[in-house]
Amino acid sequence: MSSIVLNRVTKRFGKTVALDNVTLEIGEGEIFTLLGPSGCGKTTTLRIIAGFELPDSGSVYIGGREVTYLKPYSRNTAMVFQNYALWPHMRVFDNIAYGLKLRKVGKEEIRRRVRWAAELLEIEHLLDRYPHQLSGGQQQRVAVARAIVTEPEVLLMDEPLSNLDAHLRLKMREEIVRLQRRLGVTMVYVTHDQEEALSISNRIAVMNRGRVEQVGSPEEIYEKPSTVFVASFVGRSNLLDGVIAKILGGGLVEVSIGRVKLVGTAMTRGLSEGDHVKVVIRPERVKLEGESDVNVVEGEVTLSMFQGWKSQVKMSADGVELTIYTDAKRAPHPGGRLKAYIDPEDVKVYRSSEDNM
Amino acid sequence: MKRPDPISLFFPLIPAIFFALLMGAPLLALLYEPMVSLIETQYPITSVLDYPFVNKRPLGQYYLFIKTPEGPDKLIITFKDFGIIPNTIIIATIVTILATIIGTLAALITSSYYFPGRDLIRIVMMLPLLYTPFVNAFVVYNLFGKDSGILGAITAQLFGVSVYFQGIAGVILAQTLMFWPIVYVNAFSSMVQIDPSLKEQAENLGARGITLHRTVTLPLALPGISAGAALVFIFSMEDLAAPIAFRVDSVMSRWIVNEILASSDVTTISIETFILALILISSASLWFIAVKKYLSLRQYAMMQKGGIRERRLEEPGRIAKIAIYLVLIPWVIISISPQIGVVVYAFSERWISTLPEGVTLEHMKSILSDTRVINAFRNSVTYAIIASILSLGIAVTTSYTVERLKTRFSEALDVTATIPIALPGLALALGILILFSTRYTKNTLLDPYEFPAIFLVLAYAVRKSPFTTRAAYAGLKHLHKSLEEAAMNLGARQVRVIRDVTLPLIGINLLGGVLLTFVYSVTEVSTSITIGGLNREYSPITYIIYDYVTGGYGGGAFVHLASAIVVLLMALQIIAITAVNIALKQRYAFIGV
């Protein structure tokens, strides 16, 4: 169990900047997730921690020891690859035992520890098989067993569940969390699946174009996204263009979105009247009932889609399109009129810039 | 009722009949003929276990040390003569072992490490794969096989002893220099296909350097290495160039060729010759076993789904640096000396002492004005063009059957179409002679003794068609099936789909493959110098080269003329291979699986 620190790490591949001055502090025994769209630099970050890539500038520490230019084999990290990377010419047992053999662990001890890891992952019955005789889920378990058996300081997971089907993914997700709690190992987890990130992590770093947009607990990331990108990438959002009409004080502002006026919470400091802004509203925070007379939007239902436990409703109010999640049983029908109530706290206002999409 | 499409009947049949008639039947004839004679004449089988085939008491020494009163002493490395059969097997075994070690090491270094000049070295290592029929071995002889050769001169200067290779030891040296790149090419392409994450995972768990290579890289590249090694074994057994240059008569290839060229018809070929050819074929089965394993392992491990990235090249460590600068680079320079030497021979006046003397265009002029040479060039090009067209038909039908129709016979056909790579041409030539020496074909167009042209064309098509077939496979593999299904969905029949969609889209692959079949047909040796020597009028160019080098002994003017011809052949190959590499964007257009 070790902390990991990345200090002002920059990495370029030719002309593209994969990581731009990234600083991260990952605590001991934490599940820390790097979340972002493909190409955002999350896998590069992981590979720099593992030592497969060397940063152009900046430094990396594991457990207080600087490892920036250390070779991968001297770092005592263990990585689970997206494609599992099981060696096809070795049986499951030998795959798992490989790291132990390199560490010159005795034969008996190897057998004991491989068995321990195999039991933990419920693959004792597969030890004599070759990787190509296993299902995807089984291969995944072998890859994890191989990683944990050496008792690494740090466990690195590169989209480990992306090749599994939806059902298995949920199951493995739970197991990985349970395993990490049991071992107490520091885990860095890379994914582009925001739901996966929210459900397993202690903390999340949302990355975009080689930069860290926000670091925080899943709740913080979801409830208080610090940028428009985070708000739109994590969870579903209505993303509207507006102009500041009035500064109300107490962090509240009035925004004109077309002909609709809403009171919202300023998420960017120093907004002033006439500024162009992005307005973010979570669909599930729009209520169809309420008493307040602030932020009541009236409009026509244009679409209603049943989605199981909820319905997705689209309404058009004076030319402004709004998506709403509502109880499926009480979903209004297209063509009807609708009144929507939105708490000013749930109307998040960010300054528009070229950067936020 | 399910009705089979005519295509799915017709397509597998064309290559099946072709290979059955031109590869299966001759080989069966080769098996059948000696059996019949054995029974009819009660031939004592033990005669192939006696001199000259097996020497009960080996002749000669392993090496000779000669003290000379004035001038440097001489250390001549030769080898004992164990008789035709053991000699051939011993040479092939030693050459295979040496070539495998060197080729694998070179592939390991160039696929794992970055060092200045790496790309140049990789291109230069391909040079020995250019076919330079016969004359390359004469260069090796000239450099390493005589007292005044470069090796002898250098060792005499340094140690006061002139060291050089002769006899069987010389053959081993020459063949190792000629054939190691075959292992290299196969091993290299196996290694670069290994999913990088398999190596990274091992490093991540603590493996490094030699341990990493021993536990992960080499086992995963083993299929490529063993396929390459088996090819070297077969090529060594079939090789004539090195034995001719080092004047070793007691190997199987030379015996078979001499028997065929001396025969007036097939009945005058001795029964021992057939038995030697059978031994040659059984060596090819070695390759078959290696490749069979390769085919079954091909999918596994290579470039799995997801997260694929280019393998990083390492900075070499100390051991790797020593291997690169003190072993690999000097060795590569030695290996290309035959190719360079051929050019030197072609344009120098004399090359009798250590260094060549005089620059001249006379050799080039004299071959270009020799009607016999011109006629042979014309023959070779004509045969090669027809063989290329035939191979195109074989390639399209075979690859479509294997990749698209997936019938019951597809797998067998896949294997059959690959076998010619490893099929000893001398055995094929002998089989064809037996098969077409009947009462009915005597003195007709189908008599190889009278009219060898047809048989050369067919033999080229059989032996060199895998180059086109493999290019066609590659094209079909990358052509998404949905493009064809879209046409079918709009109402096009299968033939129409092939004509309108498939062929145009894999056209560039086919062109590349046909070009390779063409150049490798022009440079073909085994059937060209046997069947091609039966009637001089129809001889191909490689027979002329053979005639030159067997007529005029090493160092003589004839080698200069032969080299001039070979320089033209080299130019032809370089042009074609460059064109193919540009067209197919692939580097491994050479021999390989």
Q: Tell me the percentage of chain A whose pLDDT exceeds 70.
A: 99
Nearest neighbour of A73 by CB, restricted to B195, B207, B300:
B207
Portion of chain B with pLDDT greater than 70, in percent: 92
- Residue A248 clears pLDDT 60, i.e. is over it: yes
Q: Which two tokens stand for residue B207?
A: 């493996």
Q: CA-CA distances (angstroms) from residue B293 to B289, B290, B299, B303, B422?
A: 6, 5, 11, 18, 15
CB contact under 8 A, A81 and B301: no
* B501-B504-B508-B511 Cα dihedral, nearest 10 degrees: 120
Span B1-39+380-545 CATH architecture: Orthogonal Bundle (1.10)
Q: Would you call B307 an interface residue with chain A, using a CB distance cutoff of 8 Å?
A: yes
Please, are residues A274 and A247 in contact by the beta-carbon 8 Å criterion?
A: no
Pair of tokens at residue A100:
């132990």
pLDDT at site B302: 41
Chain A residue closest in CA terms to B209:
A73
- How do residues B263-309 score in pLDDT, each as one tens digit? 888 888 888 898 899 999 887 777 667 666 655 444 443 433 333 45
With contact defined as beta carbons under 8 Å apart, do A154 and A77 qualify? yes
User: What value does the mean pLDDT take over residues B461-483?
Assistant: 87
Asked if B203 is an interface residue toward chain A (Cβ–Cβ < 8 A), one would say yes
pLDDT of residue B208: 81
Asked if pLDDT for residue B590 goes beyond 50, the answer is: no
- Closest chain A residue to the Cα of B197, Cα to Cα: A85
Are B245 and B174 in contact by the 8 Å Cβ rule? The answer is yes
Residue B588's pLDDT is: 44
What is the rounded CA–CA span in Å between residue B519 and residue B541?
12
CB B480 within 8 A of CB B505: no
Q: Is B305 on the interface with A (CB under 8 A)?
A: yes
Q: Do B206 and A102 touch (CB under 8 A)?
A: yes
Q: Is B389 exposed, middle or buried (0-12, 13-18, 19+ CB in 10 A)?
A: middle
**B1-39+380-545 matches B84-130+170-301+323-348 in fold:** yes
Q: What is the mean pLDDT of residues B557-579?
A: 90
Answer whether A79 sits within 8 Å of B208, measured CB to CB: no
Using 50, 70 and 90 to split pLDDT, how confident is the model at B429?
very high
Chain B hits for A84, CB-CB cut-off 8 Å, are 304
B contacts of A81 (beta carbons < 8 Å): 197, 200-201, 307
Cβ atoms of B420 and B470 within 8 Å: the answer is no
What single-letter DSSP state applies at residue B407?
-
pTM (2 decimals)? Answer: 0.82
Q: Where are the domains of chain B?
A: 1-39+380-545, 84-130+170-301+323-348
Contact A73 B219 (CB under 8 A): no
* Residue B399, phi then psi, degrees to nearest 5: -65, -35
- Whether residues B205 and A150 touch (CB distance < 8 A) is answered with yes
CB pairs under 8 A between A and B: 86
Least confident of A170-174, A199-203, A240-244, B6-10: B6-10
Question: Roughly how many angstroms between the first and final C-alpha of chain A, as a whole number?
Answer: 38
For the stretch B434-470, what's the b/e string if a residue is b when 16 or more beta carbons lie within 10 angstroms of its beta carbon? bbbbeeebeeeebbbbebbbbbbbbbbbbbbbbbbbb
> Which residues does chain A have within 8 Å of residue B211's beta carbon, measured at their own beta carbons?
102
Of A337, A348, A293, the C-alpha closest to A315 is: A337
* Chain A residues within 8 A of B307 when measuring between CB atoms: 43, 81-83, 158-159
Question: Is residue B85 helix, strand or coil?
Answer: helix
Q: Which of B216, B306, B308 comes nearest A87 by C-beta?
A: B216
pLDDT band at A9 (very low <50, low <70, confident <90, very high): very high
Query: Residue A88 and residue B300: Cβ atoms within 8 Å?
Result: yes
CA B157 to chain A, closest CA, distance in angstroms equals: 46
| Contact residues, chain A, for B208 at CB < 8 Å | 71, 73
Across all residues in chain B, what is the average pLDDT? 86
Q: Which residues of A touch B296 (CB under 8 A)?
A: none
Q: Which chain A residue's Cα is nearest to B218? A: A89
Model pLDDT for residues B253-272, shown as the tens digit of each residue: 999 999 999 988 888 888 88
Query: What's the whole-number mean pLDDT along residues B312-341?
Result: 88
CA dist., res. A112 & res. A126, Å (int)? 16
Position B231 pLDDT exceeds 90? no
Percent helix, percent strand, percent coil in chain A, to nearest 5: 30, 35, 35
Quickly list DSSP for B481-507.
HHHHHHHHHTT--HHHHIIIIIHHHHH
- A contact residues 122-181, partner B, Cβ 8 Å cutoff: 132, 146, 150, 158-159, 162-163
Q: Which of the two residues, B407 and A271, has the higher pLDDT score?
A: A271
Which of A44, A52, A165 has the most B C-beta neighbours within 10 Å, making it the best mutation to test the interface with B?
A52
Least confident of A319-333, B329-343, B363-377: A319-333
Q: Do B200 and A79 touch (CB under 8 A)?
A: yes
Taking residues B239-249, report their average pLDDT.
93
DSSP state of B446: T
**Contact flag A85-B200 (C-beta cutoff 8 Å):** yes
Is the pLDDT confidence value at B4 over 80? Answer: no
Query: What's the rounded Cα separation, in Å, for the pair B273 and B280?
Result: 11
Residue B183 near residue B191 (C-beta atoms within 8 A): no
> Residue type for B53, please?
F
Confidence of residue A356 (pLDDT cuts 50, 70, 90): very low
Residue reference for tokens 């970055």:
B114
Q: What pLDDT, on a 0 to 100 scale, did the predictor assign at position A72?
A: 86
User: Which among B198, B211, B306 is the nearest to A87, CB-wise?
Assistant: B198
pLDDT at residue A25, as a whole number = 96
Enter the tokens of residue B561: 């003329």
CB B220 within 8 A of CB B236: no
Q: Which residue of A has its CA nearest to B301?
A: A88
Min Cα–Cα distance to chain B from A139, Å: 13
Least confident interval from B336-350, B474-488, B519-533: B474-488
**In this structure, how many other beta carbons lie within 10 angstroms of the beta carbon of residue B311?**
16
Q: Do B305 and A83 touch (CB under 8 A)?
A: yes
Q: Given a cut of 70, is residue B102 above it in pLDDT?
A: yes
Is it the case that residue B399 has pLDDT exceeding 80?
A: yes
pLDDT at site B301: 39
Q: Do B208 and A73 touch (CB under 8 A)?
A: yes
Instruction: With H, G, I as helix, E, B as strand and everything else as coil, classify residue B408.
Output: coil
Q: Could you confirm whether domain B84-130+170-301+323-348 is CATH 1.10.3720.10? A: yes
Residue of A nearest to B206 (CA): A73
Categorize the per-residue pLDDT at A30 as very low, low, confident or very high, splitting at 50, 70 and 90. Answer: very high
d(CA B181, CA B126): 7
CB contacts of B200 in chain A (<8 Å) are 50, 52, 72, 79, 81, 85
